[in-house]
C-alpha cells in the first residue's frame, strides 16, 4: 500500500475538504481523507498512482495542491520540474504573492534583508500610525466636543504607555499575518539576507555572517517596498530629525514639533501630535494634499488652524541646524526654532541594492520599477509589486498586485485595474477619494459636471454636531455616469467605498440617487449629493427617496 500526503490550500470550510476528498477518491485505486484543519490530504493507493493526477484532481475543484515529502516539505509533482519562484521582500505584496504562488503549485523562496518580516504597513506604517491617530482622537474628544452636559477634560498623556500598547499590537499582528504563515505553510521558505541580481534568473543573497547564497528561479518577484525620502535641505542630514518611523515610537511628546511636508503621512502625524499636546508648525512646499481637489486641502488647512496648528504654505526651510537642544530653521516667514523636527516628504523605492541593470530591468523616477497592469517588468519572467514600483503606494494595491503577479507567474492571466482605486487620509475630518477630479478629467478631454454638498445638509453630521467638510461628485456630463468622488468628512474612509462600487459598476448619479441608504449615516451624504444634480436637497424631507 503506497501512502502519499498532499498540502491543500484555498479551502475555507469543511465542505471544501469533503469536495477535495471526493475528487481524490474518484480516481481508480485511491483512498483519501482530507483534513480542513490541517490543510492536508492523506492518500493510499493499492498500486502506482501518478502524483500529477492527484494534484489535478484537487485543482479541478478550485484548490491549490502540492505533494509533500516524508518530512512534510513541498516537493515537485514527481518529475522534479516544479516551478521555482523567488520573492524579494516580506511585506504585504510579497506574502500575498507567496501564498498564491504556492496555491498554484510553485516552490517559493522569500528573501528578507531586514531584522523583521512584514514590511512597512504592519511594522512602521498603517498599523502603528492608525493606533496613534485613534488614541489622539480619543484625547481630543475629551477636551473638545460640542455636547452639552458632558464636562470637558484635558487628559494627561502617558506616551510611554501608549507606545507600549501600540507596539504590542504591532507584534501581535506581525505574528498572526506574517510569521505564523511561514510556520504553517511549508511551501514558503524564508531566506535571510540582501538580494541582488547576478543575471536575469539568478539572485545573490548576502547574509549576515558575510556568506553569500545563490538562488536560481524560474520567476522572480520584486517587492522591496520603500523608505522615507529625505529632501536635500542644507544641514538636514547632520541633525537628529525624525522620519515617520522614529515619530511613531517616540516616547515623549515634543513641546514644539515642526513638520516638513503636507501629504498623507505629514498631515496624519502632525494632527496626532497636535492633539496629544504638542505645539505644531507645518511647512508645506506647496499646499496641503497638492494632488487632490484644491477644496480638500483648503478645508484641512482651516481645520488644522482651528485646532491650533501654525500652517505655512509655499514655505520650506533654507537650511536646518541643531544646537544640541533646538532645531533652527530659517524660512521666508522668519526663523523657526523647535525641539523636534519631523520630515515627511514622500517615500523612496528600495531598489538601489538590487543591481537591476544586471538583469536589464527598467526603472523610472526615483528608481521605481516600471511595470504593466500584469505586474511584469521589462524582463518577461521578472515581476514587481508594491511601493518599489510605479504603482500608487497603498498596502491594498501592493497586496492585490502581489496576488495577480503570482497568478501570472504560475500560468494565469490577471490584470490590476486601478481606475476605481480608493484612497484615504486619516486626518479628522478624513479624506476619501476615488476616480477623477474635475481637473484630471478635463485634462483627459472629458467634459464634466459636478456638485458639492456641504455637510450641514447631511442629517448625521448635524446629529454629530460636526459639519466640517463636504462631499463632491464628478460625472461625465453627457451620460451622467459617475467618474469621481472627493469626500472631506468624518468617516470618509467608510463613505468612499460606496462611491468605488458605483464607479466600478458604471452607475449614473441618477442610479445612485435612487438607491436605498440607511438614514442617519454619513454615507447617506452620497445619495443626497447625487440628488443635488436634479433637486434642491434643502427642500426635501428627512430621508427623502
Contact predicate 387/226, CB 8 Å: yes
Contacts for 466 with CB less than 8 Å, ≥ 6 apart: 146, 429, 455, 490
Task: Tell me, rounded to whole angstroms, the distance of Cα 418 from its chain centroid.
Answer: 14
Q: What is the SS3 assignment for 88?
A: strand
Pick the catalytic residue from 16, 75, 322, 396: 16
Q: Tell me whether residue 178 is one of the annotated catalytic residues.
A: no
Catalytic residue among 1, 13, 383, 519: 13
Alpha helices in 207-348 (DSSP H): 244-249, 264-275, 294-306
Q: Find cell 525624525 and name the residue.
A: 242
Cis check for the bond before 429: say yes or no (omega within 30 of 0).
yes
Strand 382-384 relative to strand 219-222, pairing: parallel
Q: How far is CA 272 from CA 247, 276, 304, in A?
A: 11, 6, 11
| CA atoms of 168 and 174, how far apart (whole Å) | 10
Residue 75 a catalytic site member = no
Is 63 catalytic? The answer is: yes
Query: HSE (CB half, 13 Å, CA atoms) of 360?
Result: 7
**Is 338 among the catalytic positions?**
no
* Rounded Cα–Cα distance for residues 40 and 35 (Å): 5
Cell of 203: 539572485
The active-site residue out of 75, 126, 322, 396 is 126
Q: Which of 65, 36, 38, 71 is nearest to 52 (CA)?
A: 65
Q: Which is the catalytic residue, given 63, 178, 383, 394?
A: 63
Which of the following is catalytic: 75, 322, 396, 543?
543
Query: If you search the block for the grid coordinates 494632488, which residue do you land on?
Result: 291
Nearest C-alpha neighbor of 96 from the set 185, 17, 7: 185
List for the chain the helix, strand, coil content (%; round to 5).
35, 25, 40
- Cell numbers at residue 102, please? 504556492
Query: Does residue 529 have an active-site annotation?
Result: no
Cα-Cα-Cα-Cα dihedral of 193, 195, 199, 202, to 10°? Answer: 50
Residue 412 near residue 405, CB atoms below 8 Å = no
Main-chain dihedrals φ then ψ at residue 413, nearest 5 degrees? -145, 95
Question: Is residue 86 within 8 Å of residue 215, measured between CB atoms?
Answer: yes
- With beta carbons less than 8 A apart as the criterion, state whether 430 and 489 touch: yes
C-alpha–C-alpha distance, residues 307 and 297, integer Å: 15
Determine whether 121 is an active site residue: yes
For this structure, is 241 an active site residue? no
Task: Give the CA radius of gyration of the chain.
Answer: 27
Asked if residue 352 lies in contact with residue 367, where contact means CB atoms within 8 angstroms, the answer is: yes
User: Look-up: residue for cell 494627561?
Assistant: 156
Q: Which residues are catalytic?
A: 11, 13, 16, 63, 121, 126, 542-543
Amino acid at each position: 500500500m503506497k501512502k502519499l500526503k498532499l498540502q491543500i490550500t484555498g479551502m475555507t470550510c469543511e465542505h471544501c475538504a469533503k469536495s477535495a476528498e471526493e475528487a481524490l477518491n474518484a480516481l481508480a485505486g485511491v483512498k483519501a481523507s482530507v483534513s480542513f484543519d490541517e490543510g492536508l490530504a492523506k492518500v493510499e493507493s493499492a498500486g502506482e498512482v501518478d502524483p500529477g493526477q492527484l494534484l489535478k484532481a484537487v485543482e479541478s475543484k478550485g484548490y491549490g495542491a502540492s505533494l509533500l515529502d516524508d518530512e512534510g516539505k513541498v516537493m515537485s509533482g514527481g518529475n522534479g520540474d516544479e516551478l521555482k519562484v523567488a520573492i524579494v521582500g516580506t511585506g504585504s505584496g510579497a506574502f500575498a504573492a507567496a501564498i498564491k504562488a504556492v496555491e498554484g503549485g510553485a516552490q517559493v523562496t522569500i528573501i528578507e534583508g531586514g531584522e523583521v518580516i512584514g514590511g512597512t504597513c504592519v511594522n512602521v506604517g498603517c498599523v502603528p500610525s492608525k493606533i496613534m491617530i485613534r488614541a489622539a482622537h480619543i484625547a481630543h474628544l475629551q477636551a473638545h466636543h460640542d455636547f452639552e452636559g458632558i464636562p470637558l477634560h484635558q487628559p494627561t498623556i502617558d506616551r510611554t504607555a501608549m507606545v507600549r500598547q501600540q507596539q504590542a499590537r504591532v507584534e501581535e499582528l506581525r505574528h498572526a499575518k506574517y510569521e505564523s504563515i511561514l510556520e504553517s505553510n511549508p511551501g514558503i521558505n524564508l531566506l535571510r539576507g540582501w538580494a541582488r541580481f547576478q543575471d536575469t534568473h539568478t539572485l545573490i543573497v548576502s547574509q549576515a555572517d558575510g556568506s553569500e547564497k545563490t538562488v536560481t528561479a524560474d520567476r522572480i518577484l520584486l517587492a522591496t517596498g520603500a523608505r522615507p525620502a529625505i529632501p536635500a535641505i542644507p544641514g538636514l542630514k547632520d541633525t537628529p530629525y525624525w522620519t515617520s518611523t522614529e515619530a511613531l515610537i517616540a516616547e515623549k511628546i515634543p513641546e514644539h514639533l515642526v513638520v516638513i511636508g503636507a501629504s498623507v503621512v505629514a498631515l496624519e502625524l502632525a494632527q496626532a501630535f497636535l492633539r496629544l499636546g504638542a505645539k505644531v508648525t507645518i511647512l508645506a512646499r506647496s499646499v496641503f494634499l497638492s494632488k487632490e481637489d484644491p477644496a480638500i486641502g483648503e478645508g484641512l488647512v482651516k481645520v488644522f488652524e482651528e485646532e491650533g496648528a501654525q500652517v505655512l504654505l509655499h514655505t520650506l526651510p533654507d537650511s536646518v541646524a541643531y544646537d544640541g537642544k533646538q532645531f533652527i530653521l530659517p524660512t521666508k516667514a522668519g526663523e523657526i526654532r523647535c525641539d523636534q523636527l519631523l520630515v515627511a516628504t514622500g517615500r523612496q523605492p528600495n531598489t538601489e541594492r538590487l543591481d537591476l541593470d544586471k538583469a536589464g530591468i527598467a526603472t523610472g523616477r526615483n528608481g521605481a520599477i516600471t511595470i504593466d497592469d500584469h505586474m511584469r517588468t521589462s524582463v518577461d519572467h521578472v515581476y514587481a509589486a508594491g511601493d518599489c514600483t510605479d504603482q500608487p503606494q497603498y498596502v491594498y494595491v501592493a497586496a492585490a498586485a502581489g496576488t495577480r503577479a503570482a497568478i501570472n507567474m504560475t500560468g494565469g492571466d490577471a490584470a490590476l485595474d486601478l481606475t476605481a482605486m480608493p484612497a484615504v487620509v486619516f486626518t479628522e475630518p478624513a479624506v476619501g477619494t476615488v476616480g477623477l477630479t474635475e481637473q484630471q478629467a478635463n485634462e483627459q478631454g472629458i467634459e464634466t459636471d459636478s456638485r458639492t454638498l456641504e455637510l450641514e445638509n447631511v442629517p448625521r453630521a448635524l446629529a454629530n454636531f460636526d459639519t466640517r467638510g463636504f462631499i463632491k461628485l464628478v460625472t461625465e456630463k453627457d451620460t451622467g455616469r459617475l467618474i469621481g468622488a472627493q469626500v472631506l468628512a468624518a468617516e470618509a474612509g467608510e463613505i468612499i467605498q460606496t462611491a468605488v462600487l458605483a464607479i466600478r459598476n458604471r452607475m449614473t448619479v441618477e442610479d445612485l440617487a435612487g438607491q436605498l441608504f440607511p438614514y442617519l449615516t454619513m454615507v447617506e451624504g452620497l445619495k443626497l449629493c447625487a440628488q443635488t444634480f436634479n433637486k434642491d436637497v434643502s427642500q426635501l424631507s428627512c430621508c427623502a427617496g
